[in-house]
Every structure is written in C-alpha cells, then in structure tokens.
C-alpha cells in the first residue's frame, strides 16, 4: 500500500521535495536508520531546509499522511 502512495506523492510533489528511498538492509540504510532513530518499517521522514527532521510517519503511508508531512516541512 505504501509504494503506490509514495509513487503518487513523488510525482505530484516533484518540484517541491526529493524522495529518497533507502533499504535498511544496506550498510548506508542501516547507518541512517540508526542515526535517525528508525524503529519500525516503513518509516517516512521529512526534512526541513536546515537538515532537521520536520516530520515523521511510522507505518503504512497514505497520500494524506505524506501530504501533511510535506506541508509541515515546506512551511519551515
């Protein structure tokens, strides 16, 4: 369920945000999951323009949840 929501979000917000997908089984993904306190999969993090976390959603993503994260980050 999350993949279609993320794909749609990525298409509709491509001029506003960059979507980066990481596999926590990879070395980089594992290090970043630890660094940002990811405890469950899937976890969606939205960063502000100052390298801080502007929002977090844990669990299956809906288009509404992703849009809310983006709106929060873009206000900063």
Average pLDDT over residues 51-61: 88
Question: What is the count of structural domains for the chain?
Answer: 1
Judge contact between 72 and 57, C-beta under 8 A.
no
Q: Predicted confidence band at 20 (pLDDT cuts at 50, 70, 90)?
A: very high
Confidence of residue 36 (pLDDT cuts 50, 70, 90): very high
Extract the tokens encoding 58: 């844990």
Q: Which domain holds residue 16?
A: 2-75
Residue 42, classified by CB atoms within 10 Å of its CB into exposed (0-12), middle (13-18) or buried (19+), is middle
Residue 21: band (very low, low, confident or very high) from pLDDT cuts 50, 70, 90: very high
Task: Enter the pTM of the model.
Answer: 0.84
Per-residue pLDDT tens digits for 45-55 = 988 777 788 88
Any alpha helices (H) in 1-76, and if so which ranges? 2-12, 27-35, 63-75
Q: For position 14, which CATH number holds?
A: 3.40.30.10
Q: What is the pLDDT of residue 40?
A: 95
């Amino acid at each position: 369920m999350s993949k279609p929501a993320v794909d749609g979000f990525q298409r509709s917000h491509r001029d506003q945000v960059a979507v980066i997908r990481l596999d926590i089984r990879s070395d980089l993904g594992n290090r970043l999951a630890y660094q940002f306190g990811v405890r469950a999969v899937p976890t969606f993090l939205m960063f502000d323009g100052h390298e801080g976390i502007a929002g977090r959603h844990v669990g299956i993503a809906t288009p509404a949840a992703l849009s809310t994260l983006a709106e929060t980050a873009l206000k900063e």
